[in-house]
């Protein structure tokens, strides 16, 4: 079962709220000191929302699922790339990328003007992956 865009949107809300109760798992807190970073942990929460329960035991499998998820389309690839940054400023950019009405190249070009070096780096990386 692959996380959907709706799962990722919910995961971003969870990241902003700081905690969420998952059936069968109980309350899981979102704490920067206990997670590896902001955006990549959005993916972890998206996996939980989608119904995965073993993600904490095997981080390699989590990343492998992210990379194969990114193979579905250019939009998926861009989102998967942007999930690599640990900068919280990427969350509104992810929300725009999850909106299918938004042009992904325009979103990335605007992201490259961000004050955050990490967001700029990953936006450039995403652009290089989708441009011929």
DSSP 42-85: HHHHHHHHTT---TTT-HHHHHHHHHHHGGG-HHHHHHHHHTT-
Structural domain count of the chain: 1
Q: What is the pLDDT of residue 87?
A: 80
| Locus of tokens 């490259």 | 112
Q: Which domain holds residue 117?
A: 5-130
Distance in angstroms (rounded) separating the CA atoms of residues 132 and 40: 26
Predicted local distance difference test score (pLDDT) of residue 62: 65
- Segments in the chain below pLDDT 70: 19-20, 22-25, 29-40, 54-63, 132
Could you give phi then psi for residue 45, rounded to 5 degrees? -70, -35
Torsion over CA: 64, 4, 118, 130 (sign): positive
Per-residue confidence (pLDDT) for residue 103, from 0 to 100: 96
């Amino acid at each position: 079962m692959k996380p959907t865009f709706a799962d990722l949107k919910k995961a971003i809300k969870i990241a902003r709220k700081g905690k969420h109760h998952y059936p069968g798992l109980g309350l899981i807190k979102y704490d920067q000191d206990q997670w590896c970073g902001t955006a990549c942990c959005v993916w972890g929460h998206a996996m939980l929302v989608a119904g995965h329960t073993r993600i904490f035991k095997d981080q390699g499998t989590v990343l492998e699922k992210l990379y194969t998820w990114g193979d579905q389309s250019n939009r998926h690839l861009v989102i998967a790339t942007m999930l690599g940054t640990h900068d919280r400023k990427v969350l509104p950019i992810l929300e725009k990328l999850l909106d299918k009405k938004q042009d992904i190249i325009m979103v990335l070009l605007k992201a490259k003007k961000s004050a955050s070096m990490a967001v700029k780096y990953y936006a450039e990386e995403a652009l290089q992956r989708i441009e011929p």
